[in-house]
Amino acid sequence: MIDDAGGTTLVRAGSDHAHSGHCFAAALRAPVRSHRLAVAALHRLALAGPTSSHGARRNSATEGLQKRVFTATRRVKMRETPLSNCERLFLLKAIEEKKRLDGRQAYDYRNIKITFGTDYGCCTVCLGKTRVLAQVSCELVPPKDSRPTEGIMFFNLELSSMASPGFQPSRQSELLVTLNRQLERCLRNSKCIDTESLCVVSGEKVWQIRVDVHVLNHDGNLMDAASIAAISALCHFRRPDVAIQGRDITVFSPEERDPVPLSIYHMPICVSFAFFQQGTYLLVDPCEKEELVMDGLLVIAMNKHREICSVQSSGGIMLLKDQVIRCSKIASVKVSEITELINKALENDRQVRKEGGKFGFAESIPKERITALKREQAPVEMKDIEETADEIVREAEAPSEAVHSPVIVATGTGQVGEGLQNTWGLEEEDAEEEFQGGMDGKEKKKDEVMVISDSEEEEVVILKPEAQKSKSRRPKN
């Protein structure tokens, strides 16, 4: 009951600053209040906890957690829905009880689905609801001066705004940089691809392999999904064959010569571990909600030979030696499972291509799902197309043939069509002039008329030539 009450107050504090437009004020106000609340909450936790040491541990955990909430609200764009405090507490409580929102066990991965496209080197990976698209492409470029006999690997991970409303295109966010760097370390620095075989002419032409990874839906654990997608796409990719004769390089199209696969030594795969309560609890493959409440993240890249390719710990938690060792043991199991899955998917695709069956994304639309529908090739009736078109053309009005001859107002100017000439005051003038010829007595009256106009210049300079011109033009018409 006490816990309940604590829960509600915490929620209020949370929703206060989450929904107010004034982040700054909230942030200023927050520390005092949160501290008080956190301490209050912790007293209860400490009372409820089995041992005092455990309580103390939680104490610092919750305080750290509170701090992070506020930094997060300040940094994250308002469009991303923040996690409410009661959701946060619920999740943490569930994790303590070894329960996960989607009913998985602590070391379970979500379903992994790998689909290859029609192109070589194109693949989508679905990790639960997280969805990632990878495409490998290649290009002949001059090599780097420092490594004239090595091909170039280029990784480009993109957080599309489709994946989450908080992701903005064309902005280097912190998350993007971290993911991109991790992907590079996992795949380039582990030397899983033989870059020397990508050399065509030493010092002049090498293949640049470009891997584009697009995140399409963000439901946590982007790193694992991206690394699986990237390595599967690299394994699936075929580059055009080349022949060198003297100084000439011939690149063969796929019709002329079969494209060549890349030579891949091993397949490093990232496995993410989320830590909660300062490392007390450990979860494999955290979903998005779990990522929001975790204290720290450990990403281990490993291949199926149990060789560690990179380890990265983030979030600022201190891990013990045996925790890391335990994680690496779990990773080795997961990696061998995933590698097997990738190989099976690759083998499947190869089989279908060889047999000339249908492949690509069009085939991967689930047929049994109620939200999906597919139609076979459909003919379009073209019987009376000609007649309809003829009729429309006939019925359409002929464009007016008359083209206005240009009117030359003065030398060096041109005008097409009826003029936009200022006729203010001129009408009367003209009429007067027509009727009364060049009577001197009327000059003054003209001046009087022009006084209405507030431009002095017109009055003095322009008026006379204008009047003369209209006089001289009249006979012509």
Residues that bind another protein (CB under 8 A): 78-79, 117-119, 122, 124, 129, 131, 133, 135, 137, 158, 160-165, 169, 210, 212, 214, 216-219, 360-362, 365-366, 369-382, 385-386, 388-390, 392-393
Which residue, 225 or 269, is less far from another protein as judged by CB? 225
Nearer to another protein, 56 or 362 (CB): 362
Q: Nearer Cβ to another protein, position 160 or 280? A: 160
Cβ closest to another protein, residue 375 vs residue 444: 375
Smallest separation (angstroms) from another protein to the CB of 240 = 15
Between 32 and 380, name the residue whose CB sits nearer to another protein.
Answer: 380
Q: State in angstroms the smallest separation of the CB of 216 from another protein.
A: 6
Dmax over CA atoms of the chain, in Å, equals 118
- 406-415 contacts at long range (C-beta below 8 A, 24 or more positions apart): 410/469
Q: Which is nearer to another protein, 78 or 439 (CB)?
A: 78
446 CB-side CA count, 13 A:
22
Residue 271 CB, shortest distance to another protein, in Å, is 23
Q: Note whether 320 and 275 are within 8 A (CB).
A: no
CB of 286 closer than 8 Å to CB of 314? no
* Calpha distance 392→35 (Å, rounded): 77
What DSSP element (H or E) covers 283?
strand 281-284
Q: Say if strands 152-159 and 205-217 run parallel, antiparallel, or are unpaired.
A: parallel
- Shortest distance, position 221 Cβ to another protein, whole Å: 14
Residue type, 370: I
The DSSP result for 117-162, as a single string, is -SSTTEEEEEETTEEEEEEEEEEEEPPPTT-TT--EEEEEEEE-TT
Cα–Cα dist 317/297, whole Å: 8
Residue type, 152: I
Instruction: Check: CB of residue 186 under 8 Å from CB of residue 242.
Output: no
We find the least distance from the C-beta atom of residue 192 to another protein, in angstroms, to be 22
Using DSSP's 3-state secondary structure scheme, residue 341 falls into: helix
Q: Supply the minimum distance, in Å, between the C-beta of residue 196 and another protein.
A: 25
Q: Which is nearer to another protein, 169 or 412 (CB)?
A: 169
Question: CB-wise, 79 or 469, nearer to another protein?
Answer: 79
Pairing of strands 205-217, 248-251: unpaired
Residues 149, 232: contact at Cβ < 8 Å?
no
Of 16 and 102, nearer to another protein (C-beta) is: 102
Residue 360 Cβ, how far from another protein at the closest point, in Å?
Answer: 6
CB of 132 to another protein, least distance (A): 11
- Long-range CB contacts (< 8 A, 24+ apart) of 223-226? 223/179, 223/182, 223/183, 223/270, 223/272, 223/299, 224/127, 224/269, 224/270, 224/271, 224/272, 224/285, 225/125, 225/126, 225/127, 225/130, 225/131, 225/132, 226/132, 226/134, 226/157, 226/179, 226/183, 226/270
Of residues 379 and 437, the one with the C-beta less far from another protein? 379
Residue closer to another protein (CB basis): 223 or 269 = 223
Query: Smallest gap, in angstroms, from Cβ of residue 129 to another protein?
Result: 4
CB of 288 to another protein, least distance (A): 9
Cβ partners under 8 Å of residue 77, min gap 6: 166, 168
To another protein, the closest distance from the beta carbon of 19 in angstroms equals: 12
The beta-carbon contacts of 247-250 under 8 Å, at least 24 apart in sequence, are 247/201, 249/140, 249/200, 249/201, 249/205
